[in-house]
């Protein structure tokens, strides 16, 4: 028998999330992905080269009502994160967890950087977590009660997950295998096939777009596999998972992973086996480690059930364990959410860099002393470095554009190498002083179709490439920024005139379906 919902826990989860949002505020700035998705909201479609359409639709609706202020985006992401946390608590309750198990599950989902970092920015990933965890809850309810409405709702949720991020098929495969092992009765239930039909209907806009655009997503996947993404990626996915789940939480989720495979409770075994199989698929595919983050709700809840049983006779030890896990989670907040002032974040990066240098026996210089060079933020905190430098880039390009004689400006366009640059130039140009920035990166390649690139300010391109495309290339500025990604610091801003090839060939040459 499941316990009653713990409403004080729900209130605590909401207050913690709001407190983190208040501490983070808007002090770092927009993430490059947020700028890209804001631009996508101006080009509404049924699909895009590198992502399904839901995030663009959400951005369009959100900004249409509340505007595109950074706090609006982050508050929405926080709200979705609250939903993910409360659903995780409900999942633990449905599996038979009492108050200790629910609290322990909440601690993991509130503070593990894999959850908190994603829930601190508005990208497709936070919505992806919501649909996965909501799907887990509906599936558990269906396995326990066999109510057709839960399965039909699950079909709609799975469809929304496809419209949000194309990671869900791995879960479908893993779940099908788990069902064949432990719950074959599902396959003869009519509502299951109804749910599949609903899934296909909900996901049909994306399928239609891919068919009518020659399955461009597979071109992106091919390029992605050839060029490893730089931002927010650790070379070893398993190491990335352990690190971003907060290493002390390994004590919770690893026993839960094992328990989910051998539990006597059939529902937990179906969920645990499917989650483990899905994790294996992600690891073997070498995808970004945070694709697997939602699965850890199942592992954490199962582990919390075990700890609750082990520590029930030892209330004092249970309290100490809960408090220690909570403290470790709170200590991980600064590496997951943008709560530290930028100067303090730089000090943390310097500290890590200097520690590495000391371990190698190399000399270091502290801030304020001769020879001091700030540590590269992107090496240690890439997700935070992605939030720095964009206003400065817009200001630099604006200054160069306005330095062009007024009579010439109407014929000058802007061409950016990567989506973050193009998104920043379009979304952070508050005075509308710049023309629309185009690019060949990801979906900007489609948006640039039919554009004439006769005379452009080129941002972030290799000079050798520009000199192959234009007969006259003038370097206007070498851009420098503090605490930004290394690829943005030192990029070239150049004016390019007198095309050596036609505009379509330029568009083809700057096409990039890999990340950076």
pLDDT over 60 at 110, yes or no: yes
DSSP state of 478: E
For the chain, what is the mean pLDDT?
A: 93
Residue of 329, 327, 342 lying closest to 300 (CA atoms): 329
Alpha-carbon gap, residue 388 to 32, rounded angstroms = 9
Report yes or no: 198 and 192 within 8 Å, Cβ to Cβ.
no
Query: What percent of the chain shows pLDDT beyond 70?
Result: 97
Give, in order, the Cα–Cα distances in Å from 440 to each of 63, 249, 449, 473, 512.
25, 42, 9, 19, 6
Query: Residue 514's pLDDT is what?
Result: 85
pLDDT recorded at residue 221:
84
Provide the pairing of β-strand 492-499 with 455-459. antiparallel
List, in sequence order, every residue forming a beta bridge with 474; answer none if it has no partner: 495
What residues are paired with 414 via a beta bridge? 437, 457
Tell me the CA distances in angstroms from 285 to 45, 163, 164, 238, one per residue in order: 29, 21, 20, 12
pLDDT of residue 284: 87
In 371-478, which ranges are E strands? 413-416, 437-439, 455-459, 470-478
pTM, 2 dp: 0.94
pLDDT of amino acid 251: 97
DSSP tag of 405: -
In the predicted structure, residue 245 carries a pLDDT above the cut 70: yes
- Can you give the pLDDT at residue 233? 42
Q: In this predicted model, what pLDDT tens digit does every residue of 278-325 receive, in sequence order?
A: 999 998 887 787 899 999 999 999 999 999 999 998 999 999 999 999
Sign of CA dihedral 21, 22, 23, 29: positive
Residue with tokens 């030892």: 314
Model confidence over 170-198: pLDDT tens digits?
Answer: 999 999 999 999 999 999 999 999 999 99
pLDDT at 235: 57
Dump pLDDT digits (tens) for 341-353.
Answer: 999 999 999 999 9
Q: What is the spatial distance between Cα 126 and Cα 109, in angstroms, rounded to a whole number?
A: 12
Q: Distances in Å between the alpha carbon of 379 and those of 29, 131, 384, 390, 478?
A: 18, 31, 10, 18, 21
pLDDT number for residue 73: 97
Query: What residues does each domain of the chain span?
Result: 7-336, 390-509
Distances (CA, A) of 133 to 87, 199, 255, 302, 420: 7, 16, 20, 14, 30
pLDDT at 438 over 90: yes
338-350: burial string, b at 16+ Cβ within 10 Å, e else = bbbebeebbbbbb
The beta strand positions in 377-469, using DSSP E, are 413-416, 437-439, 455-459
**Torsion angle (degrees, nearest 10) of CA 490, 496, 502, 507:** 30
Report H helices in 286-365.
Answer: 295-311, 315-331, 333-336, 342-359
Instruction: Find the mean pLDDT for residues 446-456.
Output: 95
In the chain, count of helices (H) and strands (E)?
Answer: 25, 5
Which of 185, 200, 198, 183 has the alpha carbon at shortest distance from 151? 198
- Rounded mean pLDDT, 441-461: 96
The answer to whether 299 touches 260, Cβ cutoff 8 Å, is yes
Higher pLDDT, 111 or 482: 111
Which of 3-7, 188-192, 304-308, 441-445 is predicted with the least confidence, judged by mean pLDDT? 3-7
Q: Would you state the structure tokens that stand for residue 91, as one six-digit string?
A: 């999942």
Handedness of CA 153, 157, 158, 163 (dihedral sign): positive
Q: Is the pLDDT of residue 229 over 90?
A: no
Q: Are 443 and 37 in contact (CB under 8 A)?
A: no
Least confident of 239-248, 274-283, 379-388, 469-478: 239-248
Cβ atoms of residues 483 and 389 within 8 Å: yes
The size of the chain, in residues, is 516
Q: Kindly indicate the confidence band of residue 156, based on its pLDDT and cuts at 50, 70 and 90.
A: very high
Instruction: Identify the weakest region by mean pLDDT among 38-47, 366-375, 496-505.
Output: 366-375
Q: What share of the chain in percent tops pLDDT 90?
A: 84
């Amino acid at each position: 028998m499941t316990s009653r919902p713990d409403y004080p826990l729900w209130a605590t989860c909401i207050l913690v999330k709001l407190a983190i949002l208040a501490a983070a505020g808007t002090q770092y700035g927009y993430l490059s992905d947020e700028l890209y998705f804001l631009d996508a909201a101006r080009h509404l479609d049924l699909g895009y080269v590198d992502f399904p359409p839901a995030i663009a639709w959400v951005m369009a609706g959100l900004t249409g009502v509340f505007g595109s202020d950074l706090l609006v985006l982050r508050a929405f992401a926080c709200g979705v994160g609250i939903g993910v946390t409360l659903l995780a608590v409900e999942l633990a309750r449905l599996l038979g967890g009492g108050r200790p198990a629910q609290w322990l599950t909440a601690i993991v989902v509130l503070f593990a950087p894999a959850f908190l970092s994603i829930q601190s920015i508005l990208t497709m990933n936070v919505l992806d977590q919501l649909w996965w965890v909501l799907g887990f809850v509906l599936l558990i309810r269906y396995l326990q009660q066999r109510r057709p409405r839960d399965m039909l709702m699950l079909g709609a949720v799975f469809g929304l997950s496809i419209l949000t991020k194309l990671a869900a098929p791995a879960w479908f495969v893993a779940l099908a295998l788990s069902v064949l092992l432990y719950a074959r009765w599902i396959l003869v239930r009519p509502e299951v096939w109804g749910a599949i039909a609903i899934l296909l209907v909900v996901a049909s806009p994306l399928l239609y777009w891919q068919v009518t655009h020659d399955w461009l997503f597979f071109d992106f996947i091919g390029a992605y596999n050839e060029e490893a993404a730089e931002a927010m990626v650790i070379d070893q996915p398993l190491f990335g998972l352990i690190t971003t789940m907060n290493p002390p939480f390994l004590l919770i989720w690893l026993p839960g992973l094992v328990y989910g495979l051998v539990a006597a409770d059939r529902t937990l075994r179906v969920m645990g086996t499917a989650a483990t199989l899905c994790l294996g698929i992600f690891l073997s595919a070498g995808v970004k480690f945070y694709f697997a983050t939602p699965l850890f709700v199942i592992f954490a809840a199962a582990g919390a059930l075990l700890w609750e049983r082990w520590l029930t006779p030892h209330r004092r030890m249970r309290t100490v364990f809960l408090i220690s896990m909570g403290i470790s989670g709170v200590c991980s907040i600064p590496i997951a959410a943008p709560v530290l002032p930028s100067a303090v974040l730089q000090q943390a990066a310097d500290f890590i860099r200097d520690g590495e240098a000391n371990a190698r026996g190399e000399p270091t210089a502290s801030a304020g002393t001769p020879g001091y060079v700030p540590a590269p933020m992107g090496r240690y905190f890439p997700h935070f470095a992605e939030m720095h430098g964009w206003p400065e880039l817009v200001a630099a390009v604006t200054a160069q554009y306005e330095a062009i004689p007024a009579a010439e400006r109407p014929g000058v366009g802007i061409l950016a190498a990567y989506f973050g640059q193009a998104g920043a130039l379009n979304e952070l140009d508050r005075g509308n002083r710049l023309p629309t920035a185009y690019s060949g990166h990801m979906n900007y390649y489609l948006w640039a179709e039919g554009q004439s690139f006769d005379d452009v300010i080129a941002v972030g391109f290799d000079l050798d490439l520009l000199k192959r495309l234009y007969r006259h290339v003038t370097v206007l500025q070498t851009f420098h920024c503090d605490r930004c990604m290394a690829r943005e610091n030192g990029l070239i801003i150049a004016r390019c005139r007198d095309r050596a090839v036609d505009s379509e060939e330029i568009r083809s040459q700057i096409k990039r379906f890999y990340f950076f």
